[in-house]
Amino acid sequence: MLLIKNGRVLDPASKTDAPRDILLDGERIAEIAPAGKIAHANGAQTFDASGLIVAPGFIDMHTHLREPGQENSETIETGSHAAARGGFTAICSMPNTRPVNDNASITRFIVDRAKAFGHVRVWPIGAASVGSKGEAISEIAAMRDAGIVAVSDDGKPIATAKLARQIMDYCRSLDLLVIEHAEDVSLAAGAVMREGVAPAAAEPRLMRGEVL
C-alpha cells in the first residue's frame, strides 16, 4: 500500500481542489481524505507530496513517436518515458511513421512495441488515407481491429471533401474518431492572413511593401 500525503488534489470529475491524503492499494484508490484522516494506513509506504499537485493522469491526443522508421528522432520507449515524466498516463501516436501507419501490420507493430517498451499506454492513430496521400481510404477496419483509436492524415488535411465525407461515413460505422487537420489548401494557397478587420486594416501597408 502507498499513502500519498499532503498533496493538492485536483480532480475535475469530483470538482475537488483541496489538500488531501490518498491511500493506494495496488492499482486501486482505497481512500481519499483530508490530511491525517486516513485511519487504515498502518504499514503503508508514505510519499510526502507537499507542494505538489496530485491529479488524474493526463492524456495527450497528439504525439509523434516516429517509430517505425525514424527512431533517430523519437521512439515509443523514449516518447512514452517523457510522457510519464510529465504526468501523462496515455498518449496517442500519430501515423507519420515510415512506412505510414496505414495498415494493420504497422498498427500491430506499434501496439507490440508499446507493450514491450512503453512507460504509459500508447494508443495508435491510423492514417485516414493510404500513405496519408489523400488518394484512397486506408485499411481502417483492419487497423481498428489491430488497435487504432482514430484516424488522421496528421499534418495535412484529407485531400478532398469527397474523400473526407467517405472516411467520416466509414468511421461512423466503425465507431472511430476522425481527427482532421482543418485546412483547405486550395483556399490557403500559402497565404498568412484570413479575411477580417485586422487584415483589412493592414492591407494598405502590405500594398506599399512594408513589413508588418
User: Which of 71-75, 123-127, 155-159 has the weakest average pLDDT?
Assistant: 155-159
Alpha helices in the chain (DSSP H): 76-85, 104-117, 140-146, 161-174, 185-188, 197-207
- What pLDDT, on a 0 to 100 scale, did the predictor assign at position 104? 98
- What pLDDT, on a 0 to 100 scale, did the predictor assign at position 210? 45
All domains of the chain in start order, with CATH? 2-54 (2.30.40.10), 58-187 (3.20.20.140)
In this predicted model, what pLDDT tens digit does every residue of 15-36 receive, in sequence order? 999 999 999 998 899 999 998 8
Say yes or no to pLDDT of 77 above 80. Answer: yes
- What pLDDT, on a 0 to 100 scale, did the predictor assign at position 199? 65
DSSP-derived secondary structure letter, 87? T
- What pLDDT, on a 0 to 100 scale, did the predictor assign at position 208? 45
In this predicted model, what pLDDT tens digit does every residue of 164-193 receive, in sequence order? 999 999 999 999 999 998 887 777 766 666
Statement: the pTM of the whole predicted model exceeds 0.75 = yes
CB neighbours of 54 closer than 8 A, spacing ≥ 6?
4, 7, 8, 9, 10, 20, 22
